[in-house]
Structure 1
Amino acid sequence: MDDTAWHAFLTSRGGQLQGGRVQAFAGLPEEVEALGSAGLVPLFGSTPLRLTGADRLEFLHGQVSNEVKRLGVGDARAALMLNVRGHALALMRLYRREDDLFVAVEGGAGERVEAQLGAHIIFDQVELHNLTGTLQSLTLQGEAAGEVLQRALHAELPEADRFVQVPFEGAKVLVSRVARSAPGGFDLHVLTQDARALVEALEGAGAKLVGERALAAARVAAGIAEAALEGGEGVLPQEAGLEYAVSYRKGCYLGQEIMARIEARGNVRRRLVGLRLESVPPEGARELLAEGKVVGRLGTVAEHPQLGTVALASVRHEVGAGAPLLVGGVSATVAPLPFETAAQYTSR
């Protein structure tokens, strides 16, 4: 099975493709409900990269915001690619295996990350491989995600910051804990030729296919940021809920001086909040206004079956909960995170 056959399989299961991604398989309420139990989402925005060579750990350690050299075999970490101003440009998941480093770049930022890494390989004994087309990524989210995985793959579940490689169809599935919704779940990376069989096995164990539209709604409700949307040029990790992907103990990487300065001073100007919107703002509208002054930046906007139109945003600290804002002429109100429907999971 190649990428075309993979797309065709998902379309045959009711997948609605838009912009190269499956946005939905069913109605939004049904899919959001599935993500509370065991919703399986193809992650077409994820780019799989592989680093090999004797210098791979040292090289990547100097390129990203989190520890790499100290990773043991089987360890997993989230890390960011920053610019010289410390802005969060891309989020990635790092997995150290015996003979390589597997890197899953999120949010469609794979081309940018690959180009920057490639430009910095000079005398290093490192080879960079793009596995797009060879591998597929999915996420299984919900309270029953672990039970479904165990029934389908007959394997032990990984602990936090660890991953396992489970034998499947003569190859292996890489499984790690990644929270993309309030109840959390697992990311899965599998050979394209085995992706259909994996979906069928998980469905047989109780999972339901879900599109990215519902995943965005669940992620926003839980207050989980994505660098491609909540971060980007002009936004620091600490302003976008991405600080967990930064290590303050390491040095010598792009943006490190800014991170050290923030640690020393202990504050930034903005924070991640939720927004309730009257409607979806016009495409490209990002500036959040309070009494005509720019006070923040809009991130992910999602339609939620219980919450209505909601969003994540980075706003100045003085803008409190309940404050009225405008974005692209659309009224918005600041709301605490997580939103109410997600709090039932985070309070457990």
Structure 2
Amino acid sequence: MTVLESVHEAHGATFREVGGRQVVDNYGRPERTHRAVRNVVGAMEYGYGVIVVTGEDRVDYVDNAVSNRVPDEDGAGCYALLLDPDGRVDTDMYVYNAGERLLVFTPPQKAEELAAEWADKTFIQDVEFEEATDDFAVFGVHGPKATEKIASVLHQTGTPPAPLTFERGELGDAGVSVIRTDDLAGEESYDVVCSADDAETVFDTLVNRGLNAVPFGYQTWETLTLEAGTPLFDTEIEGALPNDLGLRNALDFEKGCYVGQEVVSRIENRGHPTQRLVGLAVEACPDPGAAVFAGDEHVGDVTRAAQSPMREAPIALANLSWERPEEALKIRIDGEPVSAQQVDLPFIDGSAQSARLPTYE
């Protein structure tokens, strides 16, 4: 459940479930809210799962388990993947070195099982795992004025200098960690992490103090990230091969990692990707899973689609075969073929570029 249900309700929120956790869907007029975020700044509460990792071997243990290099310096983090025995994504995560502990942010449905799985696989290592989702609140701040917004309310420190680094300071009377994130909405972006007890104060400060920020929910988040060409866990990433997603920011190609129970020397999938994640301009919004055809050949499937408030037209992400016929694309919508055109990602150029923008070599 969201940490601030009554506060969100006072703002007119409607709710839905994401990964088993109740989150804000929207506060009404989501297209207008979307434009406000794109033009100025907005704030939302995330539904992350949180794992706290402690012990002398905490960095080595997590570093050996995931696809990216876990930093050993306080105040730095990484985006990483946990792969299954077939090299497909079991979960993605952000790992932050917070001095004597690591904070691991996962999709909400993954935190409890991942903490238990890692605990079961410890032998002589000095490492402990605690699923601590209910102890924290995490708020995202996005928009071309996000840096100005954070600077207007953050005390005792400045804004973080680089992506996936953080600074400790205060918002109002609450202690917070402010993370410069990887711009998944295609705009300047920060995460603000605080204790659950301070969540109401921090959210009020983000929305109403200094430079005001419009509150927004997951419906707007999904259209922002779609316009930015950002794959999300539930719709594009889970169960996929990293190379097929072009998800190179999650991979350190020189390190080993655990894939299931076995250590491998490199996590890059051998050979060319079999698929690629692309953007489509479409005449109508297809459902997730809608088939994409080139002529009579099935060449892929839609992962998600929405009406883009900024383009004022439907857009979609789709997994298409790496090699496909040079024919016009069609999507089946309610059994009828509808024209689609592949377009370059991102769909919209914002104040920043998503670090997950698909990249293929």
TM-score surpassing 0.5?
Answer: yes
**For the Cα contact (< 8 Å) 2:290–2:331, is it kept in 1?**
no
Provide the aligned C-alpha RMSD in A. Answer: 2.7
**For the Cα contact (< 8 Å) 1:169–1:194, is it kept in 2?**
no
The CA deviation string for residues 68-119 of structure 1, in whole angstroms up to 9 with x for no partner, is 2x43111111111111222123221111011000011136433443343233
Structure 2 residue ranges without an equivalent (≥5): 354-361
The CA deviation string for residues 229-271 of structure 1, in whole angstroms up to 9 with x for no partner, is 21222x21122232211111111421774955636x4x31222
Aligned partner of 2:66 among 64, 67, 86: 64
Aligned partner of 1:312 among 311, 314, 317: 317
Deviation at 1:131, TM superposition (A): 1.5
1:185 aligns with 2:202: no
Q: Residue 110 and residue 307 in structure 1: after superposition, are their counterparts in 2 closer, same or farther (change >3 A)? A: farther
Cα distance in 1 for partners of 2:226, 2:167 equals 28
Match of 2:356 in 1: none
**For the Cα contact (< 8 Å) 2:289–2:301, is it kept in 1?**
no
Match of 1:120 in 2: 121
1:173 aligns with 2:176: yes
TM-score norm. by structure 2 comes to: 0.84
Cα distance in 2 for partners of 1:85, 1:23 equals 34
**For the Cα contact (< 8 Å) 2:112–2:131, is it kept in 1?**
no
Deviation at 1:169, TM superposition (A): 5.6
Residues paired across the two proteins, number: 338
Cα distance in 1 for partners of 2:291, 2:164 equals 35
**For the Cα contact (< 8 Å) 1:109–1:228, is it kept in 2?**
no
1:262 aligns with 2:266: no
Cα distance in 1 for partners of 2:199, 2:327 equals 45
Cα distance in 2 for partners of 1:258, 1:321 equals 37
Cα distance in 1 for partners of 2:55, 2:290 equals 42
Q: Could you say what secondary structure the match of 1:262 adopts?
A: coil
The CA deviation string for residues 12-67 of structure 1, in whole angstroms up to 9 with x for no partner, is 111111221211113122111122121111112x1111101111111111211001
The CA deviation string for residues 318-347 of structure 1, in whole angstroms up to 9 with x for no partner, is 34899413256463624323344x225459
Deviation at 1:304, TM superposition (A): 2.0
Cα distance in 2 for partners of 1:321, 1:183 equals 34
TM-score norm. by structure 1 comes to: 0.87
Cα distance in 2 for partners of 1:296, 1:122 equals 43
Of residues 177-186 and 159-168 in structure 1, the stretch that sits farther from structure 2 once superposed is 159-168
Q: Residue 113 and residue 315 in structure 1: after superposition, are their counterparts in 2 closer, same or farther (change >3 A)? A: farther
| Structure with greater helix share of residues | 1
Of residues 302-311 and 319-328 in structure 1, the stretch that sits farther from structure 2 once superposed is 319-328
AA in 1 matched with 2:43 = L
Cα distance in 2 for partners of 1:73, 1:123 equals 25
Q: Identity of aligned pairs, percent?
A: 22
Cα distance in 1 for partners of 2:296, 2:264 equals 33
